[in-house]
Amino acid sequence: MGSMWFVFKVILASLVVALLVSCNGAADKTQSSSNEANRVGTTPATSNTNKAAPAPNASPSKAGGTIEIESTPPGAAVILIREEDGSAGNPERKGSTPVTITGVAPGQYSIDLEKTGFKSFQKDVDVKENKTLKIRANLKRN
């Protein structure tokens, strides 16, 4: 049983190293902003289950800021990307315009709107705690 536990710890350590390396490598390949979502944390080993702590991201939560997005014409796909410290986070689809995104963690974001037959729209924003940003985009035909 003791050697099995040792093998388990070696495999777990290898997985953690692989995850850290892949997260750092992804940050090197992105453009001008940081990826808070790639930070990795673990809970203290108090039981047999070691789980990674949830990473901060732009998902709804109790606090944070709000982004209201409208487009003409409506129905554009909304993509939210966290940006900070020179690398970009993972793009998150947030529905179609018009849309209100609540509980956005404070920080720098890129908002992309995409609709078939129209040029894409992109805007960089700074989300503040308990503040609402309003974005209105007039999409241009291709």
pLDDT by residue (tens digit) across 65-110? 999 999 999 999 999 999 977 778 899 999 999 999 999 999 999 9
What CATH architecture does domain 1-142 belong to? Sandwich (2.60)
Q: How many CA atoms lie within 13 A of 39 on its CB side?
A: 12
DSSP letters spanning 45-65: --SS---BPPPP-SS--SSSE
Q: Taking all residues of the chain, what is their mean pLDDT, rounded to a whole number?
A: 74
* Beta bridge partner(s), residue 126: 108
